[in-house]
A and B are shown apart, each in its own frame.
Chain A
């Protein structure tokens, strides 16, 4: 029976991937143009923690945009029959702590290396649940934690003509100015005619010089409060009156797709820790790694390279160097199709043979906060369950409806 196990498993996995791929293709083709434009092209990025725990769908990760705070749930189940067990928390400290210092001009300008580094720096922690077998062949549960960082030194320049980016931005400015003008006019009128504010102005102006400094804190509080009330009233009225203008801005922003083209250089790294039997005291550092992804991306295609050094703390024989490349074609009805090849050599071992991986990937945004990756190909040798890759990876971000 064992003799026929591999072809059966291979057949089942392949069939599942083909069926789901076909379902996704059908849904893409049947989607209307309007619907298809309502989502950003997702450039899925994987937290470095996932990479160290060997749970990343692609080995050659493409440099993507960061999000100030994101919780990712990764589901690699082949049939969606179990709950996801892999989670990652990723945050961008510069956006969280000093975001008010980032102007739009600084954001789009990709020439300043320090600004690129700070704006793209992200820190992550990931957890993956798995099982392992001891020397007697008994299966045990294990939880692994991965800590990681990544940042880009080169991230390309914004392509203004991509998906009408510049024109859409101009339209946003134009509608926003109409609203701003209307709000300004109405608030100005009410501030000028408000009796409370006028009386407070009069009290301040008629106060003796020596009393003015004492009056300022009190008057400031009262006037601020009244000003905020007037602003809230006007804003509420304008939002009700100009519903369609707000909806137009929202629609334009959802279709505003920023594409950075040119040279890319990203650095990432981290460490992973295992907790066999899920016992805190039983922890050990399992992996350390550092890697760089570099390459060139154009509007509809990209070519990336990877150099990665992974040190295995449990068994030095598994410490490896990966050298890989990935070719990507983007924007085929929102889909991104790519092929990657990676060569792995075990630099600290004379027992281990070099191995390689070749995978085809299809990434598709399911919505503003969900993405789907289909991966199929040949994995590195050495896996207990064979070297066939056929997985469906779903990433869901929580806490925001921003595209990921």
Chain B
């Protein structure tokens, strides 16, 4: 398993893209999202869904960086995970990153980069 991913995501000129981030294993997560040079999400707690500003044409060659710090707060498991979903482009995309922390209370950092292109 890995804590980082980079993915090219194909969009059409007038597509509206939705990003969905799910913090799994009942854990606590804090997410920051950058689209190009702009911070569009600053410290979102838990799972969330977001419609990106701008259509496919404006997103072309832009990078979407999603940074999530997941803290293992659950006694049930030492697993942490983040599921990323992109909807609205040529094809829907879904991927889950998962890591096991060494000890209860550890923090795991996740990074997902999506590069939009037409």
**A interface residue numbers (CB < 8 A to B):** 40, 65-68, 92, 95, 99-107, 169, 172-173, 176-177, 179-181, 183-184, 187-188, 191, 201, 204-205, 212, 216, 219-220, 223-224, 227-228, 231, 235, 246, 249-254, 256, 258, 368, 400-404
Q: Would B71 and A99 count as touching, CB distance under 8 A?
A: no
Which residues in A have their C-beta under 8 angstroms from that of B29?
104
SS class, residues of chain A in contact with chain B: helix
Closest chain B CB from A207 CB (angstroms): 10
The yes or no answer to B16 lying at the interface (CB within 8 A) is: no
Q: Would A103 and B26 count as touching, CB distance under 8 A?
A: yes
Total number of residue pairs linking A and B with CB closer than 8 Å: 151
Q: Would B79 and A104 count as touching, CB distance under 8 A?
A: no
Q: Would A102 and B47 count as touching, CB distance under 8 A?
A: no
Contact of B77 among A95, A179, A249 (CB under 8 A): A95
Q: Would B75 and A67 count as touching, CB distance under 8 A?
A: yes
Query: Measured between alpha carbons, how far is A187 from B65 in the docked complex, in Å?
Result: 10
Q: Would A250 and B111 count as touching, CB distance under 8 A?
A: no
SS class, residues of chain B in contact with chain A: strand
Q: Would A181 and B43 count as touching, CB distance under 8 A?
A: yes
The yes or no answer to B5 lying at the interface (CB within 8 A) is: yes
Q: Would B111 and A104 count as touching, CB distance under 8 A?
A: no
Q: Would A250 and B106 count as touching, CB distance under 8 A?
A: yes
Query: Measured between alpha carbons, how far is A184 from B72 in the docked complex, in Å?
Result: 20
Q: Would B117 and A212 count as touching, CB distance under 8 A?
A: yes
Closest chain A CB from B10 CB (angstroms): 9
Q: Would A401 and B24 count as touching, CB distance under 8 A?
A: no
Between B31, B67, B104, the greatest number of chain A beta carbons within 10 A of the residue's beta carbon is seen for B104
Q: Would A92 and B76 count as touching, CB distance under 8 A?
A: yes
Given contacts A235-B109, A400-B78, are A224 and B117 in contact (CB under 8 A)? no
Contact of B26 among A107, A246, A253, A254 (CB under 8 A): A107
The yes or no answer to B18 lying at the interface (CB within 8 A) is: no
**B interface residue numbers (CB < 8 A to A):** 2-8, 22-32, 34, 43, 45-47, 61, 65, 67-69, 71-79, 81, 83, 96, 98, 103-107, 109, 111, 113, 115, 117
Closest chain A CB from B23 CB (angstroms): 6
Kindly report which residue of chain A lies nearest to residue B77, judged by CB atoms.
A68
Query: Measured between alpha carbons, how far is A361 from B28 in the docked complex, in Å?
Result: 35
Which residues in B have their C-beta under 8 angstroms from that of A68?
76-77, 79
Query: Measured between alpha carbons, how far is A92 from B74 in the docked complex, in Å?
Result: 14
User: A100-B96, A227-B4, A254-B104 are known contacts; what are 11 more A-B pairs with Cβ within 8 Å?
Assistant: A99-B79, A99-B81, A101-B22, A104-B26, A173-B30, A176-B107, A183-B67, A184-B67, A191-B65, A250-B103, A402-B75
Contact of A401 among B23, B34, B61, B103 (CB under 8 A): B103
Query: Measured between alpha carbons, how far is A65 from B77 in the docked complex, in Å?
Result: 11
Q: Would B32 and A249 count as touching, CB distance under 8 A?
A: no
A-B contact pairs, 6 of them (CB 8 A): A67-B76, A99-B77, A100-B98, A101-B24, A252-B105, A401-B104
Q: Would B8 and A67 count as touching, CB distance under 8 A?
A: no
Kindly report which residue of chain A lies nearest to residue B83, judged by CB atoms.
A100
